[in-house]
Amino acid sequence: MMRRVARADSGADREARFHREFQDERGVTWLAGVRERPGLDFKGRFYFVAAPRDGSRPDAQEVWLGDVRWNSEATARRTLRTMSGVELRRRLREARARVSGRP
């Protein structure tokens, strides 16, 4: 399953492409995917994003980790499909902590 969500406040980055569903500790279903940074630097141009599946405004609730990066979408897709639920939840917790300002 792949779902695209455009992010209104990111004029530079391209829309997110979601490749995997998982549940957080509270049972909320999230979509894990990638977003692509435009530009001439192709190394690590795809990075991790997550958004709630059934949120009324997924673009407003989307979180991302810029340090979890891949060189191609195919590699990102393969990695996301093979990540365990534990690993996806850990990445989500890290991204949410950064948004809230916690270390």
In percent, how much of the chain has pLDDT > 70?
A: 78
- Lateral strand order in the sheet of 63-70: 3-5, 16-23, 29-36, 46-52, 63-70
Q: What are phi and psi of 67, to 5 degrees?
A: -95, 0
Q: How far apart are CA 69 and CA 73, in angstroms?
A: 10
Decide if pLDDT at 72 tops 90: yes
CB 17 within 8 A of CB 6: no
How many domains does the chain contain in total?
A: 1
Show the domain range for 71.
3-100
**Predicted confidence (pLDDT) per residue in 12-45, tens digit:** 567 788 889 999 998 889 999 999 988 888 889 9
Residue 99's pLDDT is: 80
Decide if pLDDT at 11 tops 50: no
